[in-house]
Amino acid sequence: AQRKLILITGASGWLCSRLVSFIAGSPDYQGAQIRCLLLPGQDVPELKWSPQIELVYGDLRNPPDCKRFLNNAQDGILFHTAGMIHPRRISELFTVNVGGTQNLLKAAIDADVKRAIIMSSNSPCGVNPHNGHVFDESAEFNPYMGYGKSKMLMEKFVRQVAGSGRIETVIIRAPWFYGPNQPARQTLFFKMIREGKMPIIGGGENRRSMAYIDNLCDGLLLAAKSPNAAGKTYWIADERPYTINEIVTTISVLLSNEFKLSTKNSQPRLPGVISEIAECVDMSLQKLGLYNQKIHVLSEMNKTIACSINKAKSELGYNPSVDLKEGMRRSIKWVLEKGYEI
């Protein structure tokens, strides 16, 4: 059945602009109205290409804004992709990721929204106990730092709401994602690899699940339309996890062989203890309510964060068609076409 209204939070994020073009191009949603929530003062030119798209300005932390965003949204489908990842202060993780989601879902229930697809992360489960381990949907909560804790509390609230039977919910857990429209921090990652400045910590054989952005959009749309997904949680990622060495080598080879950019083919290798020290510093800062993005990223660099997508494949029919090499090829091409420096 054709759905008349799609609602998306986090419209300034790179996932949202990709998701909007996926929905607009999907036969399932032909002619649907797409309503996007932006923070006041934000401008996203990528969202202004179609009369199908309506922009609403508001803040999830403000319940009247949520109510206004969900005005006349009966039977609509809500994609909640907004979230705070790298805050200035730790408290923002909880006011946005937990409080904002609570405000949004309360307003969605009042508006008789049919289904909410909630974007979560690998962080409520933390890091894998050893390199050969993969998380599936039965994994216990073991949140990594403040962000993980905020997403865990958010997921618990979503489950509670699902149990009330007043709205259908689906939780999507996505790991590190990549692809066109990527933020500057991802382009910096390419630049560091090209210049031979990307530190590989602790051997680089630790594995990371990654999600190419189009694979993730596919997963989100499947979660929206699959009748038996209601009330469930799914991991959505590429077909398999990749080692850090494989990720770095893939990017390095693409930069030099396909894009003909002079690239240093070796990176500094540092002992695993560097990440352990960063983790201690990160924890100490977060206890004080402070956050440093570089230290946080460094603390994770020797960890394995890997998941299995078997449940999404068998229940949703999810089939990630893009792998690391093709996904990174498209990402680099996008960066160069935009005129950004690698």
What is the predicted pLDDT for the residue at 252? 97
The predicted structure's pLDDT at residue 2: 47
- What is the distance between the alpha carbons of residues 79 and 97, in angstroms, rounded to a whole number? 14
The pLDDT-based confidence of 21 (bands split at 50, 70, 90) is confident
User: Is 16:8 a contact under the CB 8 Å cutoff?
Assistant: yes
Write the pLDDT tens digit of every residue in 61-80: 999 999 999 999 999 999 99
Q: Within 10 Å of residue 226's Cβ, how many Cβ atoms?
A: 18
- C-alpha neighbours within 13 Å on the C-beta side of residue 183: 10
| pLDDT greater at residue 268 or residue 50 | 268
Per-residue pLDDT, averaged over 156-161, amounts to 97
Q: What confidence category does residue 47 fall into, taking pLDDT thresholds of 50, 70 and 90? A: confident
Burial of 82 (0-12, 13-18, 19+ CB in 10 A): buried
If you average pLDDT over residues 133-150, what whole number do you get? 97
| Of 31-45, 217-231, 274-288, minimum mean pLDDT range | 31-45
Q: What is the pLDDT of residue 112?
A: 97
CA 62, 63, 66, 67 dihedral sign is negative
pLDDT score for 30: 84
pLDDT at position 45 over 60: yes
Confidence of residue 44 (pLDDT cuts 50, 70, 90): confident
Mean pLDDT of 112-137: 97
Q: What residues contact residue 71 under an 8 Å CB cut-off, 6+ apart?
A: 111
In the predicted structure, residue 3 carries a pLDDT above the cut 60: no
pLDDT of residue 1: 45
| Beta carbons within 10 angstroms of residue 79's beta carbon | 29
The percentage of the chain sitting over the pLDDT mark of 90, rounded to a whole number, equals 87
Weakest-pLDDT range from 104-108, 173-177, 181-185, 266-270: 181-185
Sign of the CA dihedral with 13 first, then 17, 18, and 23 last = positive
The answer to which of 43-52, 135-144, 173-182 has the lowest mean pLDDT is 43-52
pLDDT for the residue 216: 98
pLDDT of 101 reads: 98
Amino acid 50: pLDDT: 81
- Band of the pLDDT at 28, cuts 50, 70, 90? confident
Q: What rounded mean pLDDT belongs to the chain?
A: 95
Which is more confident, 3 or 324? 324
Residue 214: how many other CB atoms lie within 10 Å: 19
Question: What tokens does 258 get?
Answer: 């396909």
- Identify the pLDDT of residue 259: 96
Indicate the pLDDT class of residue 336, thresholds 50, 70 and 90.
very high
